[in-house]
Amino acid sequence: AQSVTQLGSHVSVSEGALVLLRCNYSSSVPPYLFWYVQYPNQGLQLLLKYTTGATLVKGINGFEAEFKKSETSFHLTKPSAHMSDAAEYFCAVSESGATNKLIFGTGTLLAVQP
Amino acid sequence: GAVVSQHPSRVICKSGTSVKIECRSLDFQATTMFWYRQFPKQSLMLMATSNEGSKATYEQGVEKDKFLINHASLTLSTLTVTSAHPEDSSFYICSARLLGASYGYTFGSGTRLTVV
């Protein structure tokens, strides 16, 4: 069965500092991996996704993530945090093929300090 | 593109009444819709998967008679919370699966349900 682990339910960084949000997954087949951002009382916005091809994926708002199969990881990074990045971030995995359910990690709340 | 419109955004209802939440795909056909529930400061829990024209598939522990899902057309899926109780108060979010080159999932903006 698929699962997603996000290490660190709360991460706090200073404005301008590196953002690193960790995600590890387990899947019996090649996974599709996603990062979403959620602002309070809103739906989810896709930041980036990995399906096939290049393992370093660039997304919106300066975020990127690297799929590392050997480490079963898909960590999200941003070189310089902005105040507007403060939000909840979810890593998610779906299996390729017919199943296609999207399974979420527990989320990481990112705080950005001035 | 690929927008899912979810309504209402907020609803307050009395215990024992039913509430319907709608999700419409505005510029594409959604053959598969997912319904999630999110408790405060928690992750999204998948409730059910609905495919157009067929019965929804519910996750273990989700009462199908309480959470009625209808996906009668390629652009509309509804979730009806029947005989609502305060413990049903939550944030409900729908999601549509996108196929092809745009493979992924697009989400509605969510519905905050409060049962009093």
A98, pLDDT greater than 60: no
Helix (H, G, I), strand (E, B) or coil at A72: coil
Mean pLDDT across A43-70: 93
Does B42 lie at the interface with A, CB-CB under 8 angstroms? yes
Which positions ≥6 away from A13 have C-beta within 8 Å? A19, A81, A110, A111, A112, A113
Q: Which burial class, exposed, middle or buried, applies to B41 when counting CB atoms under 10 A from its CB (0-12, 13-18, 19+)? A: exposed
CA-wise closest residue to A39 among A110, A114, A113, A112: A110
Distance from CA of B17 to the nearest CA of A (A): 23
Tens of pLDDT along B64-99? 999 999 998 889 999 999 999 999 999 999 999 887
Cα distance between residue B47 and residue B21, in whole Å: 14
Q: Which residues contact B29 (CB under 8 A, 6 or more apart)?
A: B74, B75
Please give the average per-residue pLDDT across B38-51, as a whole number. Answer: 89
Using CB atoms, pick whichever of A42, A49, A106 lies closest to residue B43: A106
Q: Is the pLDDT of residue B7 over 90?
A: yes
Mean pLDDT of chain B: 92
CA B13 to chain CA mean position, Å: 17
Q: How far is CA B17 from the centre of its chain?
A: 18
Residue B93 to residue A103, Cβ atoms within 8 A: no
State whether A106 and B109 contact (CB < 8 Å). no
**A59: buried, middle or exposed (CB in 10 Å: 19+, 13-18, 0-12)?**
middle
Between the ranges B14-18, B55-59, B73-77, where is the mean pLDDT highest?
A: B14-18
Residue A99 has pLDDT above 70, yes or no: no
Residue in A with minimal Cα distance to B42: A106
Taking CA atoms, what residue in B is nearest to A109? B41
3-state helix, strand, coil in chain B (%, to 5): 5, 55, 40
pLDDT (average), residues A55-83: 96
pLDDT value of position B101: 67
Q: How confident is the model at residue A81 (pLDDT cuts 50, 70, 90)?
A: very high
Q: What is the dihedral of CA B22, B27, B29, B30, to 10 degrees?
A: -50
Q: Do A43 and B109 count as a contact with CB atoms less than 8 A apart?
A: yes
pLDDT tens for residues A10-51?
A: 999 999 999 999 999 987 777 899 999 999 888 899 999 998
Contact across the interface for A32 and B43, Cβ inside 8 Å? no
Closest to B112 (Cβ–Cβ): which among A41, A51, A106?
A41
Chain B residues with CB under 8 Å of A90 CB are: 43-44
Report pLDDT for B1.
72
Residue B9 CA to residue B11 CA, distance in Å, equals 7
Is the dihedral angle over the CA atoms B60, B65, B71, B72 positive or is it negative?
positive
pLDDT of B59 strictly over 90? yes
> What is the mean pLDDT of the segment spanning A52-76?
94
Contacts of A37 (CB under 8 A, 6+ apart): A44, A45, A47, A87, A88, A89, A90
